[in-house]
């Protein structure tokens, strides 16, 4: 589906959602059930985002991109 573009491996913890922010870094935010967590920047690698692509963490923990159909 997508192409791996990141070189830094991110280890996931349960109770958090992971996303690539507007600044290009990987962030984590607590899920609603996680009352003790806080929003925090995780990765040190900056990703240059392109228009029309979706950015996410793949199953292995690397940043990947996929072309959006209607963008």
Q: Given this model, what pLDDT does residue 55 score?
A: 94
Q: What is the pLDDT of residue 3?
A: 94
Tokens of 8: 């830094």
| pTM of the full structure | 0.84
Show the domain range for 52. 3-67
Based on the structure, what is the number of domains in the chain? 1
Tell me the pLDDT tens digit for each residue of 16-59: 999 999 999 999 999 999 888 899 999 899 999 999 999 999 99
The number of helix segments (H) and strand segments (E) in the chain equals 0, 6
Name which of 60, 68, 70 is nearest 1 in CA terms.
68
* CA 68 vs CA 37, 49, 54, 61: distances in Å: 31, 13, 6, 21
Work out the pLDDT band at 60, boundaries 50, 70, 90. Answer: very high
**Are the C-beta atoms of residues 9 and 25 closer than 8 Å to each other?**
no
């Amino acid at each position: 589906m997508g192409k791996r573009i990141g070189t830094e491996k991110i280890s996931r913890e349960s109770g958090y959602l992971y996303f690539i922010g507007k600044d290009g870094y990987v962030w984590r935010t607590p899920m609603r059930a996680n009352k003790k967590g806080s929003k925090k920047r995780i990765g040190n690698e900056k990703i240059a985002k392109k228009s029309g692509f979706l950015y996410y963490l793949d199953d292995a923990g690397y940043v990947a991109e996929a072309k959006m159909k209607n963008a």
